[in-house]
Amino acid sequence: MFVDTSNPSIMKHLISFLFIVLGSVSVYSQNITVKLIDANTKKPIPYANIKTGDYSGVISNEEGYFTLHDVENDTQITISCLGYKNKNITVKDIKSLNFSIALEESINELNTVYISAEKPNADYIVSKARQNLSKNYDSKLYKHKVFSRETAYMDFNTLNFDIEKTSHVKKQQLESANKSLDSLSKAIINSKTKHFKDFKADLYMDDSLKTKLVVQKATELIDQKNNLSIEDVQKRAQDVILKYLDTTLTYKLKTGLFKIEDSLSLNEKEDKETPENEYNIKNLKEQTTSLLKRAQFYNNSFASEILDADLYEYSFQDISYFNDDLIYVINYKPRRSKAKYTGKLFIADSTYAITKVDFKYADGKRGQKVNLKLILGVKYIENMRRGTIIYQKDSVNKYQPQYIKFEEGRYFYVSRPLKFIENSPEKNKTSFDFTIEGDILTKQELLLTGNSKISLDDFKKVAEDKNVPYVTLHSYDASVWKQDQTLEPSTEMKEFKSEE
């Protein structure tokens, strides 16, 4: 077909035609956010698998929501979730349901499928899972497309500042300083520090499980005003006290037997240079690799230890159903004092592959503990750990982690006697007590959106940066991750606001 582009009239009609075509495409290509609910209870369904292709898709978040980007009205979506019937639906149908999809339980269907006079043996099922690990899983020489989210909270339960004695500050100034410190304490306790960090990357793993990380995009959603560490809190208290001391002098600061600073001064100009908004790749890689390795099966790994019959005892709980496969639900709990976790294993009847793991500290178990409260005024307890790992088959018929959630809770207590000592012949002193107590909660989530085999040469050719820039956000902005496969943010994250 020949088009005479020199003819203005023909060109005008051609351009108009192109606009109509492009406009129709933009009308039917859209982003949709959907909620999954249980058809009977109406409760949200978390961690459902939503596929738009054989190996592409997302999962629903803890509140049952998921978002799909650039889909058309006739796009076919397959939704599968442990314990529920699969559902095939189009975007057009989802719209007619007001973006809320109800899934039906598959319990009744199971009653007709599974017929046995004997209760399945949990020890036998777990032993078969151990025997089939090498057949079902492969960790070496892979490229994983990942999306990572870290959510952190710091809650100060107790915060006390008090100037006990001073050799040169008037009583009125001392009272005023303690009032200022009291106001600071209340403001910090009410701050409810929290932040969210997201990044998208490719994680490469070689034949020895060493990794390289290439980050494409990273964001930080944080309230800088209320982003406080223990050191930040101490610094704010020190600044309050300095205001009531002689501003023409500098001071040494001691805590116990240790000298912290030689020349604290109110008159010193603070460095106003804004730090570069960059993450250290090494830190991101260690965090991501640690999370992924918890879900992989190799000698002495976290997931493998749960299958150790010397450490854990198993009991059959139920059967469920997922993608036309029977799933055994197996409870586990510590058999030996070395074992720390309790939870559930979900094991496929056809392959004896573990498709899901739920875990948490068993009663009376905890992680690291440091109690030097009487000697150094420090106490630390890792008192909560729990999580979920979900697996799915990749293009070479191996099971790979699709979603990993890992939560930790830690209690801390710090009590420091601080002393300001003038750098002067008089060496006037101001004694100050600093006590802080609270809890830190961190939640790490890793979504693997694609997996592919690589060669050792491929791994060696990957260039890894030292740092990666990130974008600081003051409120959640969905457009930042447009067209990316990500975890749907929680309501809390969507509603988060901070001062610029």
Report the distance separating Cα 56 and Cα 122, nearest Å: 33
What does each C-alpha distance from 468 to 213, 220, 286, 445 come to in angstroms?
A: 11, 12, 15, 20
Check if the beta carbon of residue 351 is closer than 8 Å to that of residue 334. Answer: no
Q: Is the pLDDT of residue 12 over 70?
A: no
Report which of residues 197 and 249 the model is more confident about: 197
Q: pLDDT tens digit string along 191-204?
A: 677 889 999 999 99
Q: Is the pLDDT of residue 115 over 60?
A: no
Look at the alpha carbons of 86, 92, 96, 97 in this order and tell me if their dihedral is positive or negative: positive
What does each C-alpha distance from 33 to 69, 148, 263, 417, 428 come to in angstroms?
A: 9, 20, 56, 53, 64
Report the distance separating Cα 161 and Cα 478, nearest Å: 41
Q: Is the pLDDT of residue 26 over 60?
A: no
SS (H, E, C) 2-26: CCCCCCHHHHHHHHHHHHHHHHHHH
Which of 467, 486, 435, 477 lies closest to 215, judged by CA?
A: 467
Find tokens 């790749």 and name the residue.
Answer: 281
- With cut-offs at 50, 70 and 90, classify the pLDDT of residue 462: very high
- Least confident residue range of 297-301, 321-325, 375-379, 406-410: 375-379
Q: pLDDT tens digit string along 384-437?
A: 999 999 999 888 889 999 999 999 998 888 776 767 777 777 777 777 677 878
- With cut-offs at 50, 70 and 90, classify the pLDDT of residue 22: very low
Report which of residues 362 and 411 the model is more confident about: 362
CA angle at 441 for the pair 436 and 445, rounded to the nearest 5°: 155
Half-sphere exposure of 113 (CA within 13 A, CB side): 14
Report the distance separating Cα 379 and Cα 414, nearest Å: 7
> For 271-278, which contacts have Cβ atoms below 8 Å and span 24 or more sequence positions?
276/467, 276/469, 277/220, 277/469, 277/470, 277/471, 277/472, 278/467, 278/468, 278/469, 278/470
Report the distance separating Cα 182 and Cα 417, nearest Å: 17
Report the distance separating Cα 408 and Cα 390, nearest Å: 19
What does pTM read for this prediction?
A: 0.80
Q: pLDDT tens digit string along 138-183?
A: 999 999 999 999 998 888 777 776 666 565 556 666 677 777 777 7
Find tokens 């209760």 and name the residue.
Answer: 119
- Least confident residue range of 238-247, 320-329, 411-420: 238-247
What does each C-alpha distance from 471 to 132, 198, 278, 293 come to in angstroms?
A: 44, 10, 9, 28
Query: Which residues lie below 8 Å from residue 99, measured CB to CB, with a gap of 6+?
Result: 32, 33, 34, 35
Report the distance separating Cα 404 and Cα 386, nearest Å: 11
Edge-first strand order for the sheet with 76-80 is 56-59, 49-53, 76-80, 87-90
pLDDT for 468 equals: 93
Report the distance separating Cα 236 and Cα 69, nearest Å: 45
pLDDT for 17 equals: 47
